[in-house]
Amino acid sequence: MIYFDNAATSFYKPPQVVGAAVSTIKNLSVNAGRGGHFMSLKGARLMTSAREKIAAFFGAIDASFVIFTPGCTAALNTALFGLNLAGKHVITTALEHNSVLRPLFELKRRGDISLTVINPKPDGTVDADMISECIRRSTALVVTTHVSNVTGAVLPIRQIGAMCRKNNLIYIVDAAQSAGLLAIDMARDNIDILALPAHKGLHSLPGTGALIINDRVSLKPLILGGTGTRSDSLLQPPSLPEGFEAGTVNLPGIAAMGRAVDLLNECFDERHGKVIALASQLYDMLYSLPGVKIYSPRLSPSGIITFNVKGMYSEDVCDALSCDFGICVRGGLHCAPLCHKALSTSDTGAVRASLSFSNTVDEIDSFYRAIKEISAK
What is the C-alpha to C-alpha distance for residues 304 and 207, in angstroms, rounded to an integer? 23
Task: Say if residue 229's pLDDT is above 80.
Answer: no
What is the band of 33 on the pLDDT scale with cuts at 50, 70, 90? confident
Task: Report DSSP state, residue 344.
Answer: T
> Is residue 91 classed as helix, strand or coil in its secondary structure?
strand
**In the predicted model, what is the mean pLDDT of the chain?**
96
Question: How many CA atoms lie less than 13 Å away from 209 in the CB half-sphere?
Answer: 26
- Residue 298: its pLDDT value, please? 87
What is the band of 334 on the pLDDT scale with cuts at 50, 70, 90? very high
The strand pair at 139-145 and 170-174 is best described as: parallel
- pTM value? 0.97
Strand partners, 195: 174, 211
Task: Say if residue 233's pLDDT is above 90.
Answer: no
Residues contacting residue 227 through CB under 8 Å, at least 6 positions apart? 236, 237, 239, 242, 243, 245, 246
Q: Which of 208, 171, 175 is nearest to 187 (CA)?
A: 171
Task: Say if residue 220's pLDDT is above 90.
Answer: yes
Task: Say if residue 330's pLDDT is above 80.
Answer: yes
CA dihedral 339, 302, 198, 70 (to 10 degrees): 0
- Residue 300: its pLDDT value, please? 78
What is the C-alpha to C-alpha distance for residues 245 and 224, in angstroms, rounded to an integer? 8
- Residue 228: its pLDDT value, please? 78
Task: Report DSSP state, residue 120.
Answer: P
Task: Say if residue 232's pLDDT is above 90.
Answer: no
Q: Which of 142, 140, 149 is nearest to 175 (CA)?
A: 149
Buried b (16+ CB within 10 A) or exposed e, 265-286: eeebeebbebbbebbebbbebb
What is the C-alpha to C-alpha distance for residues 341 and 206, in angstroms, rounded to an integer? 29
The full set of domains in the chain, from first to last, is 2-10+268-376 (3.90.1150.10), 15-263 (3.40.640.10)
